[in-house]
Amino acid sequence: MIKPLGSDTLNPLFVYDETKHHELNKEAEGLPSLLINSAAAANAVMLGAGYFNPLTGYMDIANATSVADKMQLTSGQFWPVPVFNRTDDISAIKDAKRIALRDPNVEGNPVLAIQDIEAIEEITEEQGNFIAKKVYGTLDSEHPGVATFNSHGKYVISGPIQVLSFSYFQQDFPDTFRTAVEIRNEIKEHGWNTVVAFQTRNPMHRAHEELCRMAQKELNTDGILIHMLLGKLKPGDIPAPVRDAAIRKMVDIYFPANTVMITGYGFDMLYAGPREAVLHATFRQNTGCTHFIIGRDHAGVGDYYGKFEAQEIFDNDVPEGALEIKIFRADHTAYSKKLNKVVMMRDVPDHTKEDFILLSGTKVRAMLAKGEAPPPEFSRPEVAQILMDYYQIEG
């Protein structure tokens, strides 16, 4: 198992000590409070869970700009994307030094964390555009990540936090949500030294399943971590509970026992393509994984990114030695009618498009909505059934 980013041991910001936790919750009742946005709440959860090691809280504009520009804090510490707490309304906190952050995603808006305010700054349009362009590669308001980023507010509240809750993730996904600390502990319990991680925000079809097998075989790893995003997605993406059920069914039937860990993390999707690929690699290093699969258009959306930009960024932009985790570079995988198995397209140069079973996402969704299962070469029938049930209920 490899070390976390930037420290010898993981330093999660969740307050585990029961006495201290109770004291802070009591203190929070008398503090000025701020109802934060979903992105800031997800950042708090990730800080609390250790995925954002070695960060200690939310960034100021100088650090966020430095990270956007060259993937380094002003201290020189590597980090791939800004971690903000932004709002449009500071009236309740403008003179405060310590505030309670309230959860926008849980009924009643309970306290999520306590923040010590180091600065409240107003971000200019120029600064916001610079950061957005660097992180997302575009300023197009049709890009879901850019649209969300632009909605976060003009005031940047920076400073360290103490996390008191993992929001709705533990309650809604008790069998799946895991902190980076818990994943490290589980890897130790398995006795695994090498682990390859697979990121997903979608159900896994045959190509994804076989890609995990290919990576494990080629890298000779002890285990596979299937690590799914459980937070907010763009409209049209399949909800986390459905994905979770589909992935569990696939692993239960088609993978040997004790070779796969199915877990999830509480973060909202950025759709930032190459930059998000680097962030995803950082998460997995903090969980102790030694390898991470990155395929075509990883974390992309629409046509904003080149098919292999998410791999190339590790060669061109990530400072040498910044990450210890190794990248497994995957090509598009699909079922070969010639070979009767799933292959990476780069490994079969003699194939033409007609030699593969290729279905667009639009086509698959239309089939599922009609109660038609995709071919078994594309999707396991048990997985297809879960997805058909969902799409037919959705209507």
> Which residues are bridge partners to 159 per DSSP?
58
Which tokens belong to 10?
Answer: 């993981």
C-alpha distances in Å from residue 39, one per residue of 42, 91, 104? 5, 21, 10
Say if CB 82 and CB 59 are below 8 A apart.
yes
Choose the catalytic residue: 98, 201, 248, 329. Answer: 201
316 noted as active-site residue: no
Tell me how far apart the alpha carbons of residues 213 and 168 are, in angstroms, rounded to a whole number.
32
Considering 25, 150, 202, 213, which one is annotated as catalytic?
A: 202
3-state secondary structure of 85: coil
- Amino acid (1-letter code) at residue 261: M
Which are the contacts of 234, defined by CB distance < 8 A and separation ≥ 6?
A: 144, 269, 271, 301
As given in the structure block, the two tokens for residue 178 are 């895991």
In the 8-state DSSP scheme, what is residue 77?
-
User: Could you give the 3-state DSSP secondary structure of residue 72?
Assistant: strand
Distance CA 74, CA 65 (A): 9
Phi, psi of 86, deg, nearest 5: -120, 150
Q: Is 275 a catalytic residue?
A: no
Q: How distant, in Å, are the alpha carbons of 2, 37, 120, 191, 351 from that of 354?
A: 43, 47, 58, 44, 8
- CA-nearest of 345, 332, 266 to 294 is 332
Q: Among candidates 333, 257, 299, 306, which has minimal Cα distance to 145?
A: 299
Q: With contact defined as beta carbons under 8 Å apart, do 205 and 357 qualify? A: no
Residues annotated catalytic, as ranges: 201-202
